Structure 1
Amino acid sequence: MTSVDRWQLPDGIEEVLPAQAATVEALRRRLLDLFRSWGYELVIPPLVEFTDSLLTGLGQDLDLLTFKLTDQLSGRSMGVRADITPQVARIDAHSLAPDGVSRLCYAGSTLHTRPKSLMASRSPIQLGAELYGDDSVAADVEIIRLMLATLDAAELPARYTLDLGHVGIYEAVLDAAELDDEQEARIFDCLQRKSVPDLMQALDDVPEDIATLIIGLVDLHGDDNVLLAARELFADRAPRALAAVDALQDVATDLRHQRPDLPIYFDLAELRGYHYHTGIVFAAYVPGHGQALANGGRYNGVGEVYGRSRPATGFATDLKALMNLLPASASGQGAISMPDSDDLELLAKAEALRASGEIVINSLGAGRDPRCDRELVEIEGEWQTRPL
């Protein structure tokens, strides 16, 4: 190993240096305070858990993202969390076990074995909110509104678009198609990639009317006209999908009542998180940023393994991704240089300034810190601040 190799970080793993760290911490504090004002209580799950608990109910995708190790005390398999959502579901179902609605929020580091997308970090700082115990459209709308309020509070320079989908639509189409497991897996992969040629090839041995129904999903993305087209497509062949289409319309109507200018984009072939989401799914995008800036959806029943099957909906974002979209911060508030002295009046003055929010830096042998734009000097027996 060369000396250069010793300080290199793994691909997708980043350190956060002072200026960026200040931005991340300010965002974290501002957003957690926002969640608190909406009634969401902060929880801090552990960095590692037994995989029996950590990976239950959220599908193979999370399993592949999770670094695993052996606990030296128990010999059991443990995982470094790749997603905090299942941990919060465990806290709701087992540690707290409330009877009614509970609202929980969190912020913490996660670790992925591989990036979720080409430019994604493998060490995101995940922040999110979860609502348990209510299966209504009103709960979905509350979580989406909180996600939008989160992006507003982050003061992003770009306008964002809300994407809405519903896994119930694909489920209804599958039920109508009566495919075997192998066919379903091939078709699912093609729909995820939205590759029509591959999808048509995968549907070679499927009846024409069913193939038309599945291929039709690919084109069901865009404005409100998508919902009209969906009702026509599903009315006879997959009537169970109509309830999901109605739910999407209800959510969009409620959101537009508060935000009439919000761009809403429907994507009825959105299959992100299909293996654990159970209803509405949503995501926010900004121009020029390929991956979702924040996303979430309904995931009822995840707490069942912990003894309580609860309705659940929530969203998450990555503080690092938010930070990267913000303009470069200014030099900061500046700082005050103080002499390296044990003068009690000087020390008392410095502590008073620090208590008021100022940064006061002791000048050691190397001289003043470059951040200092003021200094403490003794004038007529009194310590005062003056510009440098």
Structure 2
Amino acid sequence: MTYSWLLPEYCEDILPDNAWALEEARRKLLDLFKKRGFNLVIPPLIEYVESLLTGTSHDMDLQTFKLVDQLSGRLLGVRPDITPQVARIDAHSMNHTAVNRLCYAGTVLHTKPDVLSQSREPYQVGAEIFGLSDVSGDIEIQSLMLDALSLLNFKEVVLDVGHVGIFRGLITTLKLDEKTENDWFKLLQNKDIPSLKIATEGIDSQIRNALLSLPTLNGEAAILEKARLILPTSLQITAALDQLDAVKRRFAGQVKLSFDLCELRGYHYHNGLVFQVYSTDYKGALARGGRYDEVGSAFGRSRPATGFSLDLRQLITFKR
């Protein structure tokens, strides 16, 4: 027997109490963004797949519902993430040369839930800065992210920060093929030191020792000094550590800080600082962000870019 009122798995109505709470929170966050100089954009729900997935990872491709456009015959995708759309708007639709601050709020759709207890329809709210290459842009976004979470009554949080440039700086001289690079990336993400020891046999001993040390370089700010003693002093690695130090100086004493030099989330998408916020009473990250300077080049303009996003639907449901 078919019940006409059944919804697809991991899709559900938002009923009045939660709906009003979500709408009130959305207004608060957008008001905050506006006060900080961010302009609101509303991208379309569907786009041509080649545009929608430009510069994103294979995982994002798997999360995208696809359909054929009856007008053009081309393949469309339902957006699984708004950030690439905002990068397209900055690079093509607005075509600014100055620093551009944009924000957004809207539903995205995933083929599978990120976590089995969550909806396939996250309500994504976020902010992006384009055209600002200095670490001050990352710090501005992190500060906005923390203030946004404070508005949502998440007070006791941990700002966890990493930098994908450290791993890239270590392997840049090795000229690895794509498969090997991806294999090492997965081992580092899993902090699988025994397997990494086997995988890196025969390479330069200094680089190998540095790679094997990355899974141990996580914790409070003191690990940054330890990292300077262990890691090679290349320009890329030194610049990455300098940026991490800048974050430490900005937020020390204001929020609990944690650094993880093995954190490579979004490695194929991000190219600099990556960050996420945790709370002891919430499973998973409250919000995530990072630098992604290279994405705009696919739309004709390579622009420095950094931003963050959160799933407002999930956070509101948790708070209630």
- Give the TM-score of the pair, scaled to structure 1: 0.78
Q: What is the distance in 2 between the residues matched to 1:55 and 1:154?
A: 30
Determine the structure 2 residue equivalent to 1:200: 197
Pairing of 1:278-357 with structure 2 (within 5 A): 278-326=271-319, 328=320
**Which of 247, 250, 255 is the aligned partner of 1:262?**
255
Q: Which has the higher contact order (CA 8 A, sep 6+)?
A: 2
For the structure 1 residues 118 and 266, does the alpha-carbon distance in structure 2 shift closer, same or farther, using more than 3 Å as the test?
Answer: farther
| Deviation for aligned residue 1:233 | 1.3
**Which of 177, 190, 207 is the aligned partner of 1:180?**
177
Whose Rg is larger?
Answer: 1
Pairing of 1:363-378 with structure 2 (within 5 A): none
Q: What is the distance in 2 between the residues matched to 1:296 and 1:235?
A: 27
Determine the structure 1 residue equivalent to 2:218: 221
Determine the structure 2 residue equivalent to 1:133: 131
Q: Counterpart of 2:197 in structure 1: which amino acid?
A: M
Determine the structure 2 residue equivalent to 1:359: none
Q: What is the distance in 1 between the residues matched to 2:66 and 2:181?
A: 30
| 1:240 matched to 2:233 | no
Unaligned runs of 5+ in 2: none
Q: Deviation string for 1:198-230 (max 9, x for gaps)?
A: 333433454554332211111111011211121
Moved more, 310-319 or 196-205: 196-205
Determine the structure 1 residue equivalent to 2:228: 231
Determine the structure 2 residue equivalent to 1:16: 14
Q: Counterpart of 2:94 in structure 1: which amino acid?
A: L
Q: What is the distance in 1 between the residues matched to 2:72 and 2:92?
A: 21
Q: Counterpart of 1:251 in structure 2: which amino acid?
A: V
Contact 1:164-1:281 within 8 A present in 2 as well = yes
**Which of 265, 277, 281 is the aligned partner of 2:270?**
277
Contact 1:177-1:210 within 8 A present in 2 as well = no
Q: Counterpart of 1:235 in structure 2: which amino acid?
A: P
Q: What is the distance in 1 between the residues matched to 2:43 and 2:163?
A: 29
Q: Counterpart of 2:168 in structure 1: which amino acid?
A: E
Contact 1:127-1:317 within 8 A present in 2 as well = yes
Contact 1:117-1:291 within 8 A present in 2 as well = no
Determine the structure 2 residue equivalent to 1:40: 38
Q: What is the distance in 1 between the residues matched to 2:97 and 2:239?
A: 28
Identical amino acids, percent of aligned pairs: 47
**Number of residues paired by the alignment?**
320
| Deviation for aligned residue 1:78 | 0.7
Q: Deviation string for 1:134-190 (max 9, x for gaps)?
A: 11111111111100110011123x511001111110101112444333322211111
Q: What is the distance in 1 between the residues matched to 2:8 and 2:227?
A: 45
Determine the structure 2 residue equivalent to 1:110: 108
Pairing of 1:28-107 with structure 2 (within 5 A): 28-107=26-105
Determine the structure 2 residue equivalent to 1:251: 247
Determine the structure 2 residue equivalent to 1:142: 140
Q: Counterpart of 1:34 in structure 2: which amino acid?
A: L
SS at match of 1:107: strand
Contact 1:293-1:321 within 8 A present in 2 as well = no
Q: CA RMSD in A?
A: 1.8
- Give the TM-score of the pair, scaled to structure 2: 0.94
SS at match of 1:123: coil
Q: What is the distance in 2 between the residues matched to 1:225 and 1:10?
A: 48
SS at match of 1:246: helix
Contact 1:41-1:105 within 8 A present in 2 as well = yes
Unaligned runs of 5+ in 1: 329-388
| 1:121 matched to 2:114 | no
Q: What is the distance in 1 between the residues matched to 2:186 and 2:140?
A: 32
SS at match of 2:268: coil
Q: Counterpart of 1:159 in structure 2: which amino acid?
A: E
Contact 1:169-1:241 within 8 A present in 2 as well = yes
